[in-house]
Amino acid sequence: MAVQITPSILNADFAALGAEVARIASADWVHLDVMDNHFVPNLTFGPAMVEAIAQSTDLPLDAHLMIDDPDREAPAYVEAGCGSVTFHAEATRAPVRLARELRALGARACLGLRPATSIEPYADLLPEFDTILLMSVEPGFGGQRFLDVVVSKIRRARELIERHGGEIWLQVDGGVSPDTIERCAEAGADVFVAGSAVYSADDPDAMVRRLRDLATAASRLG
């Protein structure tokens, strides 16, 4: 599949999110980091804000739920307008049931893993998910440095996905920048979340296009 860039608005101006999303018109998705100050030590926003963002853009929304009770809360984000919802393996009690519920509501069901969480225990469950998201920083805050140890995990995840066949996207989130995206793409990732790299650029949309070009070139080499 083609490389996709999903900028995170975590580093955008929260007082003008509609305008901030308009600055990334070339994005494939808008990545929404939902945090509850329990699963991670930060607090952002909930379904009401997501619904407001959905009304301000035609870009599809990708909610990343870093919350304690996704089994109960995740469906509300589909109702708020998200076309993709990621919940964390470390937080959910019934990942397959939740994935099937999200799919039945019409959204992509995505499983997120923190850096220290292995992909191998979920190998047999991969066909239940549309996307696997690998965190390449500890979740909670934007602007962190990319963890190089995750590159080998990306490679292992891609190998497991290819064994199952089908189209499962492999997303990387955390520290993605022009300096790191090529390694991730070469290892097998095809969807990339970039926050500070995009919104610290003078032209965020130009950075989206640059990241896509770098990842596309690297994935062809791989």
Decide: 7 and 197 in contact? Cβ < 8 Å: no
Instruction: Name the residue with tokens 């018109």.
Output: 25
Instruction: Name the residue with tokens 């739920």.
Output: 65
The pair phi, psi for residue 134, each rounded to 5°, is: -105, 120
- Bridge partners, residue 193, by sequence: 6, 173
Number of neighbouring beta carbons within 10 Å of residue 43: 11
Annotation says 173 is catalytic: yes
Selecting among 36, 62, 173, 190, the annotated active-site residue is 173
Instruction: Note the Cα 180 to chain centre separation in Å.
Output: 16
The pair phi, psi for residue 175, each rounded to 5°, is: 70, 20
Selecting among 28, 33, 62, 130, the annotated active-site residue is 33
Label residue 194 exposed, middle or buried (CB < 10 Å: 0-12, 13-18, 19+).
buried
Structure letter (DSSP) for residue 146:
P
Residues involved in catalysis: 33, 173
